[in-house]
Amino acid sequence: MSETNTVVAGSVVTLHYKLTLDDGQVVDSSEGNEPLAYLHGSNSLVPGLESALGGKAVDEEFEVTVSAAEGYGDRIDDAIQEVPRSAFPDDADLQPGIQFQATDQDDNPIMGTIEAADDKTVKVDFNHPLAGKNLNFAIEIVGVRPATTEEVEHGHAHGEGGHQH
Ligand code: ZN
């Protein structure tokens, strides 16, 4: 194992992944797609997964269970909020369980899930859909290389599976 193909801060890691919940439901997978590329140490991945990848090498395959606290966080009751019906388009589908993307105060993207709706108010759960859940990852590392200066400046990986811009 040479240092250049081991995952350290500043490595661009390319990997295939499969994310399964404890009930066996596969919620995300790179199967059939380009592998994901990310810059190690940039907090691009959930913390528990990024730390599990540290020190791993190219061609390694492993499974890791990440707790909610090290994943998308625990569920927070305060994240369930009532939003005026007028904040949504007239033709919005507001059936319980419908998910939509909104932005928080800082303009960061945030997922909302409709809990209930009437003429005046929509009850929205702004917890991440995977909050409170254990995340079971199956990982296959297909590439490790040092980040370019530009990637370090941008704080993300470029090229296939990374940012294209
Ligand atoms: Zn960039």
Residue 91 alpha carbon to ligand 1 centre in Å: 36
C-alpha 55 to ligand 1 mean position (Å)? 24
pLDDT tens, residue by residue, 57-91 = 999 999 999 999 999 999 999 999 999 999 999 99
Query: How far away, in angstroms, is 151 Cα from ligand 1 center?
Result: 6
User: Can you give the residue ranges of every domain in the chain?
Assistant: 3-72+131-154, 77-125
Q: Give the tens place of pLDDT for each residue, 5-14.
A: 899 999 999 9
161 Cα–ligand 1 center, Å: 12
Per-residue pLDDT tens over the stretch 97-113: 999 988 888 888 888 99
53: Cβ–Cβ under 8 A, 6 or more apart, which residues?
7, 13, 15, 40, 45, 139, 141
For the whole prediction, is pTM greater than 0.95? no
Distance 57 CA to ligand 1 centre (A): 24
The Cα 101–Cα 126 span in angstroms is 10
Whether residue 50 has pLDDT greater than 60: yes
Residue 3 confidence class, pLDDT cut points 50, 70, 90 = low
10 alpha carbon – ligand 1 mean position (Å) = 14
Q: Which tokens belong to 124?
A: 């929205």
CA distance 97 to 116: 9
pLDDT digits 0-9 by tens, 133-162: 999 999 999 999 999 999 999 999 999 899
Average pLDDT over residues 29-34: 94
Six-digit token pair at 78? 């305060």
Centroid of ligand 1 to alpha carbon of 30 (angstroms) = 21
**What average pLDDT is seen over the chain?**
94
Q: Are 8 and 152 in contact (CB under 8 A)?
A: no
Q: Phi and psi (nearest 5°) for 25? A: -70, 125
- CA distances 105 to 46, 70, 102, 108, 110, Å, are 22, 24, 10, 7, 10
Q: Which two tokens stand for residue 49?
A: 């997964």
The pair of three-digit structure tokens given for residue 103, joined into one six-digit string: 């932005």
Q: Which CATH class is domain 3-72+131-154?
A: alpha beta
> Is CATH 1.10.10.10 the right assignment for the domain spanning 77-125?
no
Closest CA to 28 of 10, 46, 11: 46
Position of tokens 């995952």? 7
Distance from the alpha carbon of residue 88 to the mean position of ligand 1, in angstroms: 33
Q: How far is CA 155 from the centre of its chain?
A: 16
- The pLDDT of residue 145 is 96
